[in-house]
Structure 1
Amino acid sequence: MMETLTRLWRKAPQPAVLQLARSRDSDWAGSALPQARRRLCREIRRKVPVADAALDKIVRLTGEFIVQSDDALVEEELRRFCREIAIGAGRQGLRGFLEQYLNSLLTDGTAVAEMIPAADGSGLGAVLLCPAESLAVRRAENGVGLRFYAARDGLPGEEVRWPELILYTPLDPDAGEVWGHSVLEGLEAVSQVWEQILRSTAQNFERAGSLRYAVTYRPGEGERINPREVAETMAREWRAAMDGSSGSVSDFVAVGNVEIRVIGADSPILDTEVPVRQLLEQIIAKLGVPPFLLGLHWSTTERMSKQQADLLTSELERYRSLLTPVLRRILDTHLRLWGHTAPFAVEWQDISLQDTAELAQARYDNARAAVLEEQLTEKGEIV
């Protein structure tokens, strides 16, 4: 079956000469995904709920797709495949796999998956998402292709025997690099300040909810007392008054000049609204998600909301352009193993109904303008 896959897989023509170096360092430098960077980005997503919610919104808003083909049999088979393909953990459906793939791409900066042929050779049996750190990538000798190696503990091992079955997508790789960059990169300082503010706020409210008292006794002039004995007595009686069980009332009775005050009551709690909003603005600007999608009801105009929605649409179209080649490669591999090579098309559904309505209104306005122009031309009013 593997020999059949090799014969069916058509490789693109390779360039004959490479004139410039494609890598800054040695051949194996940076072949594995940096573990520290991966852990940092995942920690940012775990500790900053707004960033996690924004990435979830991006994944969900990417939308659905349908497969179309002039061959009815091929179209029916591809649609069945999209519904029933196993993607691991007891789940099925190519849509769910694309969500996992895009999630890994946004968080780690690189997404890796493997296509598993069916045992009977009737197509693909499963498409499984792999941890990005399980793969080491090296640029091929021609400077264009990639060579894949199984990695363990950050070290490359044996070369993958069937690289045609590996799905690999980097997000915005630097020149000469093979690994992409997470959309969360650059938020390290923001997430650190965010965590400090939340921790300090929690500590302040914990102290405000668990009051601490200062009991001060000032003896009068000429009064002879044993300070230590008086302090121990007052501490014992105050503790007994504070330890009263629920529903019981205890009184603390003292003679003389006794002052009782709450420790820290004179210190105001810092206002965190302004710094937190500044941090949220940094996060939203980095991820490109409009605030109203995250439940942040900031003052804005209808025009600003429309522009933000347009920016989000362009971001989603960009991610779709990264997912479409992966999707087409999966479907094409399944068709070849199934024994067919009929052409097909992947059509993404509109991102929102609002976009559909706006496009329909624009088409209506253009058609109406064309009719008016034609009528005026017939009357000789315009040339």
Structure 2
Amino acid sequence: MNILGLNISRSKAPSESHTVQLRPNNGQGPYTAGFRKFIAQKLDPTFFEFMREAIPVMDTAIWRLVSLDGHLVVKGNKAALVEEIQEWMDNVQVNDFQTGMHAFHQNLTNEGFEQGFAIGEFIPNKQRNDIVGLKVADSKFIRFNRKPNLLEILQRADGDQDWRVLKMDPLLYWSIHNENQNPYGTPLFRSCEFMAQTLATMHNSLANVWERFGDPSYSVVYKTSKKDGTNHQERRDAMVTDLNDAVRAKRAGKSADFVHAIDTNSEIEIKIIGAEGKILNLEVPARHVLEQIVAKSTLPAWMLGMHWSTTERLSVMESEMVLADAKTRQSAKLPMFNRTVSTLLQMRGRTWKKGDWWLEFEQVNLHDIEKQARARFLNAQADMMGADPVATDTTQKKEAQFVGKKL
């Protein structure tokens, strides 16, 4: 229709036959609610514990770092004092049911990696002449309160209505990646929240795929015509019953078939629902996300069970970096353990001088024993080559043979 030079056409009303299917937004499966609680730039201690539960590689990385930090040993020139300290370290009660300084070290380190800091406590007896226990607090229930001249540490335990101030003397504190004067430290996997959510989404989608396609649903199409009669409902029910019987027999490990006699105007077609669907490739994007998480853990991928291609030389360099990181953490924790042992000896009335005892960490060995032996042999040869020129060639040969047999 043309009115005043304008072309006006009447269009049909929009069709109301289409429908929209809404599905719940649970992209991470059972972990969706936990990830929804995350707010960027907000520290939520319960979230980092939840993230370890949702992503197994994060939990594995923390426990692997705990193992790499080694264990404490006591050495010294005064045998009686060393034996007394070692006996206490082996038998001191830790928390409710654990025993030994190594258990305390594990719990403290685990809590520090997860939450960014850890608070421990040594417990004196009533006479205050011995330390009878060690405890590690749940960092989620610890709060710091900065005052003009001091920093208070507060805790809210079971049954507490409010935060209570803790006495500072028996407390032991360790943290990682402190930022300025922030006593809360930085959790190991901070900045991996989005990556963890993405990886959980991938895992949930993979589970959905196998739930839909792994146990296939069958679609049975029975094509017929009015010439075949009016008992179509009865025929359909019979086919459904026979198909279910065949599927149950297959699951029981038996062979089963179903047969129907139809006329020339009928046709039965059986398909697996979803068998022709395209499944997204998971390997490449999942590895990209995992690389970010592994990089944040400071561990090489092969230590977490991911055997990505790497050269032998690269793995040696990675081992060196891992040991260097562990040694740095050990140096940070050593003064805390020295103070604990010193307090124990003072309570017991012991006296000592420098060199009578000291604590050190037993280092984890990540290197090839054969290569270490070969290196020691070459070092011994180099030392002999640079020895006093007065020494005779015969003496040098005998020393070299002796070193070679010993190695």
Q: Which TM-score band (shorter chain)?
A: 0.7 to 0.9
Name which of structure 1's ranges 232-241 and 325-334 shifts more when overlaid on structure 2. Answer: 232-241
Q: Quick check: 1:177 aligned with 2:178? A: no
8 Å Cα contact 1:50/1:294 also seen in 2: yes
Corresponding position of 1:242: 243
Per-residue deviation, 1:218: 3.8
Deviations 1:319-356 (A, max 9, x none): 21232122112111111111124243112223206277
Q: 2:142 aligns with which of 128, 132, 135?
A: 135
On the 8 A contact 1:113/1:166 being kept in 2, the answer is: yes
Q: Give, in whole Å, the separation in 2 of the partners of 1:226 and 1:164.
A: 93
Alpha-carbon spacing, 1:237–1:265, altered in 2? closer, same or farther (3 Å) = same
The answer for the alignment partner of 1:4 in structure 2 is none
Q: Which of residues 153, 158, 163 in structure 2 aligns to 1:157?
A: 163
Q: Tell me if the contact between 1:35 and 1:133 (Cα under 8 Å) persists in the aligned partners.
A: no
Q: Partner residue of 1:326? A: 336
The offset of 1:266, in angstroms, is 0.9
Gaps of 5+ in 2: 1-40, 392-407
> Which shifted more, 361-370 or 340-349?
361-370
Structure 1 residue 190 and structure 2 residue 185: aligned? no
Matches of 2:59 and 2:95 in 1, distance apart? 23
Q: TM-score of the superposition, structure 2-length normalised?
A: 0.74
The answer as to 2:81 corresponding to 1:80 is no
Give me the whole-angstrom Cα distance separating, in 1, the residues matched to 2:361 and 2:197. 38
Q: Is the aligned partner of 1:209 residue 2:219?
A: no
What letter corresponds to residue 198 of structure 1 in structure 2?
H
Match of 1:372 in 2: 385
Aligned-pair CA distance for 1:173: 2.0
Match of 1:63 in 2: 70
Q: Does 1:148 align with 2:153?
A: yes
Query: What amino acid does structure 1 have at the position aligned with 2:346?
Result: R
The amino acid of 2:364's aligned partner reads: I
Mark the CA change 1:358 to 1:37 in structure 2 (over 3 Å): closer, same or farther: farther
Q: What is the aligned residue count?
A: 339
Given candidates 279, 296, 304, the residue that maps to 2:306 is 296
TM-score, reference length from structure 1: 0.79
Read off the aligned partner of 1:106 and give its amino acid letter: F
Aligned-partner Cα distance in 2 for 1:240–1:356: 67
Q: Deviations over 1:334-379 (max 9, x none)?
A: 111111242431122232062777666556545543543567899x
With over 3 angstroms needed to count, the CA separation of the structure-2 counterparts of 1:113 and 1:35, relative to structure 1, is: farther
* Greater length-normalized contact order (CA 8 Å, ≥ 6 residues apart): 1
Matches within 5 A, 1:2-151: 37-142=44-149, 146-151=151-156
Q: Residue 171 of structure 1: CA displacement?
A: 1.7
Determine if contact 1:137/1:146 at 8 Å carries over to the other structure: yes
Which letter does structure 2 place at the counterpart of 1:241? Answer: D
Matched, 1:347 2:360: yes
Instruction: Give the letter for the 1:200 counterpart.
Output: S
Range with greater deviation from structure 2 (356-365 or 105-114):
356-365
Q: Is the 8 A contact 2:69 2:363 kept in 1?
A: no
Which entry has the higher C-alpha Rg, 1 or 2? 2
Quick one: distance in 1 between partners of 2:47 and 2:333? 25
RMSD of aligned Cα (Å)? 3.0
* Alignment partners' CA distance in 2, 1:159 and 1:197: 44
Equivalent-residue separation in structure 1 for 2:379 and 2:278 (angstroms): 61
- Matched-pair contact (CA < 8 Å) for 1:112–1:130: yes
Q: Which residue of 1 aligns with 2:404?
A: none
Q: CA deviation at 1:251?
A: 1.2
* Percent of aligned pairs sharing the same letter: 25
Instruction: State the shift of 1:35 in Å.
Output: 9.5
1:266-285 deviation per Cα after TM superposition (whole angstroms, max 9, x unaligned): 11322211122222212211
CA spacing shift, 1:323–1:357, aligned 2, 3 Å: farther
SS in structure 1 opposite 2:83?
helix
* Residue of structure 2 equivalent to 1:258: 268
1:259 counterpart SS class = strand
